[in-house]
Every structure is written in C-alpha cells, then in structure tokens.
Amino acid sequence: MLTTLSIRDIVLVDALDLEVEDGLTVLTGETGAGKSIILDALGLALGARSDAGLVRNGAKQASATAVFTAPDDEALIALLSERGFEVAPGEELILRRVVSADGRSRAYVNDQPAGVTALREIGALLVEVHGQHETVGLLDWKTHRTLLDNYGGLQPQLTGVAGAAERLKTAQAHLDELEASAAEAAAKAEEIALNLADLDALDPKPDEETELAGERAILGAAEKAVADLADARNLLGGDKLSQRLASALRAVEHARQRAVQAGAEGDNPIIVKLAQAAEAVDRALVEATEAVACVDAAADAFDFEPGRLDKAEERLFALRAAARKLNTTVEALPALRVKLREQLRLIEDGEEALTKARRDVAAAIEAYDVAALLLTSAREAAGDRLVAAVMDELGPLKLERARFRVTLEPVEGRRGPMGVETVRFEVATNAGTAFGPLDTVASGGELARFALAMKAALASREDQRQPVMIFDEVDQGVGGAVAEAVGGRLQRLSRGAQVLVVTHSPQVAARGHAHWKVRKADVEGHTRTSIDVLQEGPRQEEIARMLSGAEITDEARAAARVLIG
C-alpha cells in the first residue's frame, strides 16, 4: 500500500507531505485548482516521463517521493532482486524521482540510484492508473491471461500444465541429444569403425604408459647392473672364498686337536683362543656364503627374457602413435575406445533408443495436450463468468450499449508452461461496431468507466490481488444514478485495497473514506496549490459546494448530509 506521497517544487506546489490511508481517498477541488498535479507527482515517482516544465518556476529542481509498505508480492520481490535492489522483510519501499530545471532526471529506489526503466517496471507492479487518457494495466493484453486465471482460480490447472510442459521439455531434450549424437556418429561411422578396430587390436590398458616407461628405464639399466653384480661376485671370490674359509676352518681345528693331544686342557688359554678363532672363521664362512647367494639372487632379478626391452619400447611407441593419430593422450585411449564403441552402438542399435525417446516425447505431448485442454476449458468457463460479471457492471455505468468478450487465441506450435493460447479482453462500445482492443474502441470517459467495471468484476474474488488503483475523473460526463453507481463501485473496490479518485461528482466524493480538497491561492504574489485533509464539517461543506456551485445553500448542505449518510 501507498503510505506517503511527498512533493517538492512541482508546478504550483512548494511542499506537500500526504499520508495516504487505506480504502477510498477522493480528491476534489475547483477546476484548475491543481488536482492533476498530485497525480503527475505520483506518476513521476513511479517512472512516468518527465520534463523541465514540472519544475516550479524559480526552483532548481523538483522531486516526488512515494513510500510503500513492505512488499509481499512474489513478482515484485523477484523484480526488485533482478534489478539489484534487496528489500528486507518489513522494510519500506521508497521510490523517488528528482527533475532538474534543465530537464534531466534521476531515479532512486530506497535511496539507491536506479534507471527510470527499472523505476517504471517496479511502479507498474505497485500502482494501476485509470483515466481518460490512459489505463495502465488493462490495456496491456499481456496481463489479461494472468487476470483471467486469477479471477477463475485456475492455479491447479496451471500447475498441471506447467508440470506437463517441464516433462515434455525434458523428454524433447533427451530426444534431441540422442538424434544429434546419432547423426554425428553416422556421419563418421566408417572412421569410427577403423579407429575402434585399431584400438581393439592395440588393447590399451589404464596406466599402461606409466608402467611401460618405468619398465623401459629398468631394462635399459639392467645390463650395467648385471655387470656390476658380476664384479661384486668376483671381488667376493665366489665359491673360492667359501673353499678358502673352509680350509682355514679345518686348519684351525687341526691346530686345536694338536694342542689337546699335547695335554692342553679346555680352560687353557691356547685352547680358548683356538676355539674363538674357529668360531670366527665359521661365522665368516656362513656370511661369505650368504653374501655370494644374495649377489647371485640380485643378478637373477635382472635376468629378463631376451628382447624384453625391445618389446616394451615397441609397445610404448605404438601407444603414443595411436594417441597422436586420434589427437588424444595415451591415458585417454581406453576411455576413447569405450566412447567409440558407444557411438557405433548408437549407429547399429541406436534406433531402438531413438524409437523409445520418440515414444516418450509423443506420450509427453499427449499428456500436455490433455492438461492444456483442461486449462483451456477452465479459461473458457472463467471467461464466460467474467463476461457476465462485467456486463452486469456496464449498465449502471452508462455503458449499456457496450459489449465485452474474452477471446482465447491458440498459438500454433506453443506448448508452454502457461498453456497454448493468448487471452485478450475486447470491447465494442456501440451497437453494430466490431470488437477490438480496449484502447481503440473506447473514448476517454468510457475507457475509465470500463476499467472501473472490469476492476469491480475482477475484484469479486477475495483472493484477487489488487494493487493501488488511481481513477482520474472516471465520472466525467455522468451524473445522477450513474455517478452514484460509479461511487458505489469505487467504494466496493476499495475494500481491502487502496483507491484514489479525482472526482467532480458529489455522489462519488461522498463515498470516500478520506477526502482531500485541492485548492489554489495566491501567496506573496505567487499562485500555489495546497491540499486540505477534510474532516466531517468541512467535508460536508465541500460536497455541498459540489452540489450547488459557488453559493452553498442550506438545501445543498442537507443533500450533502444525505449523501454522506
């Protein structure tokens, strides 16, 4: 809801700060008092076109600021986020426009610089303007489908269509992918088959290049390693070392036996030393034998089959040549082999997958068409109800000759989340005239009253979202019972919503929940426009003035009291 409108230096207004209430607010005043200035200022804050003529004579700049309660509409919140404006829960939304004397303008959203286009888009979701020269919202046929769907309560049908559209989109994307892959594979079938045959013959394994490179390095070093081990064996003496150590051990044993025979006892130092020598030689014999065995085992480890190095190098070269030919890496050859086999499978066996995918698409189309048909039928029924509701409103508004209809126009090839048709509201204002868009067949006054009839009919659903609505002289050219009907509909429309109306009709003014009187006066040689917020006594006096003219009579005051009720 609009809570505050602040105006600075616009045309004849020095400064105005207006608190806007819920319900119906009426603006009255003598012709030329400046009622349109208030609406022009609001329009400026909402992104309407600006020019230097709006700046009060002598002022450097003009500004208009409109403050709204925290937005709770998903579309509005999404638009604000898309345009880079984050509005926290409970935070007011402030739209401001400044126009300098040279005609340049600046726009702000919550004091952040904004483009005028963004301001206009945000404003369009906050306020609807209906007047003799413009009707923002209803004239845009792109809004008609949403208005009808909301009026008819068609969210279940819309959900069904949206789900069916998403499933169709997924099925079609899968079919497109299969067809593209199959077409690409078929165009390269011969080349794929040859490359796959080469890879099958080569049979590359994962990590094979790393293993072969390591093996080649080892095999290349094997010859020198074997020679080094042979030198080690020779230096150890090989079997001769063991034989010599064995002979030395026997000689030590013979010496010990001679000492014993000579009478040396076991604890004799000579016997002890000879025993220690025998043990040491024996250990050396064991170690020498083990050392030779280890060197021989190491040499055996380098005993590769003949030609093993040549085979490893040939395999490595073959793998790298295949990778270069296929413009890939050796590591990727196994995966490429699988991919090529899959491509050939698509060529050879892919028709079955394509057939299934086509069946899935056909089934999705059929399911979508059923859901869309249910939505179309529901729209037709809602359209009939809306036509009846609007027609009921037209007669009392002096539009008894007008006819209204809702047209559903199928769009060939469309299977979207919102259905298969466009929705348009059309009117014929006189007998014998053809139906057409609202703005091409309705005059200024008729257009405003027709908009009122439409809004009154659409608002018959409590869950129908109503933005702030402005009606500019919707009662132009009518009086009596018609003006009473206009006032009644505006009052009804303002229940749970916010409606501002510029009026010359006392019947309309008497219906207001709040009453602003716009007046013009000379202040220090300058003409200025101001607003009085009228309470009961002054309000009755103003309505009496509207009834009787310049001279307010007692009869007019009595009639005003009756109108106010």
- Return phi, psi of residue 59, to 5°: -90, 155
Residue type for 91, please? E
For the chain, the average pLDDT equals: 84
**Token pair for residue 460?**
């018959």
Q: Tens digits of per-residue pLDDT, 19-65?
A: 998 899 999 888 776 788 888 899 899 988 888 888 888 889 999 99
Distance CA 406, CA 437 (A): 11
Q: Over the range 91-122, which residues count as b (16 or more CB within 10 Å of their CB) and which as e?
A: eebbbbbbbbbeeebebbbbeeebeeebbbbb
Strand partners, 514: 25
Q: Which of 379, 552, 455 is nearest to 137 (CA)?
A: 455
- State whether residue 548 is helix, strand or coil: helix
* pLDDT for position 221: 66
* pLDDT for position 146: 87
**Superfamily (CATH H level) for 1-129+463-479+494-534:** P-loop containing nucleotide triphosphate hydrolases (3.40.50.300)
Q: Which of 83, 89, 2 is nearest to 42 (CA)?
A: 2
Strands 93-100 and 61-68: antiparallel
Domain range summary for the chain, segments of one domain joined by +: 1-129+463-479+494-534
* pLDDT for position 516: 92
* pLDDT for position 297: 74
pLDDT tens across the length of the chain (565 residues): 899 999 999 988 888 999 998 899 999 888 776 788 888 899 899 988 888 888 888 889 999 999 998 777 777 888 888 888 888 777 889 999 999 998 899 999 998 999 999 999 888 888 888 765 555 567 778 889 988 998 899 999 999 999 999 999 999 999 998 888 888 777 778 888 899 999 999 998 888 888 888 777 777 666 666 666 676 667 666 667 777 777 877 887 787 777 777 776 667 787 778 778 878 877 877 777 787 778 777 766 666 665 677 787 888 898 999 999 999 998 899 999 998 888 887 777 777 888 899 999 999 999 999 999 999 999 999 999 999 999 998 888 888 888 899 999 999 888 999 999 999 999 888 777 888 887 676 666 677 788 888 888 887 665 554 678 888 877 776 778 888 888 888 888 888 789 998 888 899 899 999 999 988 888 777 788 888 999 988 999 999 998 887 788 888 889 888 888 7
Distance CA 129, CA 75 (A): 19
The secondary structure of 475-535, three-state, reads CCCCCHHHHHHHHHHHHHHCCCCEEEEECCCHHHHCCCCEEEEEEEEEECCEEEEEEEEEC
